[in-house]
Amino acid sequence: MDKILIHGGHPLSGSIKVSGSKNSSLPILAATLLTREPCVVHGVPDLSDTHYMLQILIHLGAQVERASGTVSVSADNIESVAPYHVVRKMRASICVLGPLLGRCKEATVSLPGGCVIGDRPIDLHLKGFEALGAAVRVEGGNVKVFAPKLTGAVINLRGKFGPTVLGTDNVMMAAVLADGVTVIEGAAQEPEVVDLANFLNKMGARIEGAGTRRIIIEGVAALHGTEHDVIPDRIEAGTFLVAGAICGKGITVKRIQPEHVRSTTEALASCGFPIDIADHAISISPNGEAKALELTTEPYPGFPSDMQAQMCALLSTTDGISVITENIFPQRYMHVAELKRMGAEMQLEGATAVIQGVDRLFGAPVMASDLRASAALVLAGLKADGITEVSRVYHIDRGYERLDEKLSELGAHIERVKET
Ligand code: EPZ
């Protein structure tokens, strides 16, 4: 396993280009199962999660070719069983259920494991499939769905924690080949859901309302192949904006749709970090007079749960008392104990973190636990005095394309070494 060493205090400057969105690529690659014709997807980031998804497609019988960020998939003859050893590495594998049900009218996929950010139920996914006429069985660690035919229905997919992103994706992918019209109420509005809907419509689907709480899908007989460019990764962009605020002379994040990171730029601006927003680029600089912040994570367009850990790192050295409440994954605080090892002063009160800003952080050996917590530790290391050693960086490699190299290009003193 690798670890990353960050020599703190070196100012960042310059610009970086954002990679394609992980959370858009995964469901779009799964959606290629809905047609036997070839699909070409550009801008797929080079991550372990996208590699896992390609392995699943290959295991299901698809032909897959990858040339840098372009992936070609031909799912001519496929089977509908994705076993544990194939899906166990990535929870998002569950988003092959919908296209397999839509295309094959049956599917067997191993249940996703839980993970450190909390329980990851799929009850809303299964509720949607049953509403479309599928029989659902959970046995032996697998979920099996079967439908002689799928019939459009009105489905409310809102759960106690709000909408479900992959649940909306899965039900949309099952409904595109159903008989009749499906209405998803309480749908997730994330840009990645819109990107998937755009991809499906280019394949011949008839989807309206993606990006709103109400998505209408008119089923069609079959879908055809297409070509598509994945949207930029708004969470990678937000992570680099926090890097630009935490230390240095200011950086510019290029190839981003500012609307997709509006809640993050508004939060950073409200602290007092100077932000300049152009058509497809955002510049940010540190501010020694930045103020504390109260923040709550919410479904899009609210402040994203996937940016919560990064903001904890930034606010740990922002003067005053900040309060962050995590409404999406209330246990998503694995980074707090590690940040405290670096001198941060923060206390957890249920799903709320109370952060007392300190003048300095101190480099220390810390352990990555989940994707975004790991990024937060790297960000804190940029600011800390001394050397921060982040172990288990395979968590970072799941969702960030060359994070250490991109930070080096901005002036960070950061190196990747083999864990002895
Ligand atoms: C997607 O996960 C993202 N992953 C997550 O990003 C992101 O944190 C999450 O959406 C929320 O925005 C991908 O897109 C691959 P949810 P997803 O279903 O779809 C509850 C990252 O770091 N829920 O929107 O799995 C659930 O427990 C990852 O890139 C149910 O109760 O999340 C949670 O509390 C981490 N029943 C809330 O809804 C269900 O059937 C939102 O979960 C499904 C979800």
- When the pLDDT of each residue in the chain is averaged and rounded to a whole number, the result is 95
- Number of C-beta neighbours around residue 347 at 10 A: 11
The predicted model gives 382-393 an average pLDDT of 96
> Closest Cα to atom 27, ligand 1: which residue?
120
Residue 116 has pLDDT above 80, yes or no: no
204: left (phi over 0), alpha (psi -120 to 50) or beta: left
pLDDT tens digits for range 305-334? 999 999 999 999 999 999 999 999 999 999
Sheet holding 275-277, edge to edge: 13-17, 250-254, 281-284, 275-277
Report how far ligand 1's centroid is from the alpha carbon of 164 (Å): 6
pLDDT for the residue 91: 87
Write down the catalytic residue from 39, 95, 104, 115: 115
Ligand 1 proximal residues by C-beta, below 6 Å: 22-23, 26, 92, 119-125, 159, 161, 164-167, 188, 305-306, 328-329, 371-372, 399
Residue 115 has pLDDT above 70, yes or no: no
Residue 339 has pLDDT above 80, yes or no: yes
Among 21, 22, 23, 305, the mutation site with the greatest number of ligand 1 atoms within 8 A of its Cβ is 23
> Closest Cα to atom 10, ligand 1: which residue?
165
- Of 317 and 89, the structure prediction assigns the larger pLDDT to 317
Please name every residue paired with 42 in a beta bridge, in sequence order, or none if there are none: 229
Residue 368 has pLDDT above 90, yes or no: no
Quote the percentage of the chain above a pLDDT of 70: 99
* The two three-digit tokens of residue 370, written as one number: 């989940």
Helices in 176-208 by DSSP H: which ranges? 191-202
The predicted model gives 185-199 an average pLDDT of 98
Q: Is 404 helix (H, G, I), strand (E, B) or coil?
A: helix
Among 117, 166, 297, 398, the mutation site with the greatest number of ligand 1 atoms within 8 A of its Cβ is 166
Report how far ligand 1's centroid is from the alpha carbon of 350 (Å): 19
Lowest mean pLDDT, pick from 14-23, 260-269, 365-374: 365-374
Catalytic residue status for 312: no
The predicted model gives 37-65 an average pLDDT of 97
> Closest Cα to atom 26, ligand 1: which residue?
120
The predicted model gives 12-28 an average pLDDT of 97
pLDDT for the residue 169: 98
- When pLDDT is cut at 50, 70 and 90, the band that residue 259 belongs to is very high
Residue ranges of domains in the chain, CATH in brackets: 2-19+232-418 (3.65.10.10), 22-229 (3.65.10.10)
> Closest Cα to atom 8, ligand 1: which residue?
306
- When pLDDT is cut at 50, 70 and 90, the band that residue 111 belongs to is confident
* The two three-digit tokens of residue 71, written as one number: 């992936």
Report how far ligand 1's centroid is from the alpha carbon of 90 (Å): 13
State phi, psi for 192 to the nearest 5 degrees.
-70, -30
CA dist 34 and 96 (Å) reads 10
Closest CA to 316 of 352, 269, 358: 358
- When pLDDT is cut at 50, 70 and 90, the band that residue 141 belongs to is confident
CA angle 278, 46, 14 (to 5 degrees): 35
> Closest Cα to atom 25, ligand 1: which residue?
166
The predicted model gives 141-161 an average pLDDT of 96
| Terminal alpha carbon distance of the chain | 8
Report how far ligand 1's centroid is from the alpha carbon of 268 (Å): 24
- When pLDDT is cut at 50, 70 and 90, the band that residue 113 belongs to is low
Residue 114 has pLDDT above 70, yes or no: no
Contacts (Cβ under 8 Å, ≥6 apart) of 85: none
Q: Are 100 and 140 within 8 A, CB to CB?
A: no
Element spanning 341, H or E: helix 334-341
Contacts (Cβ under 8 Å, ≥6 apart) of 288: none
pLDDT tens digits for range 204-246? 999 999 999 999 999 999 999 999 999 999 999 999 999 999 9
Residue 409 has pLDDT above 80, yes or no: yes
Q: Is 412 helix (H, G, I), strand (E, B) or coil?
A: coil
Q: Indicate the pTM of the whole model.
A: 0.97
The predicted model gives 361-368 an average pLDDT of 95
> Closest Cα to atom 41, ligand 1: which residue?
164
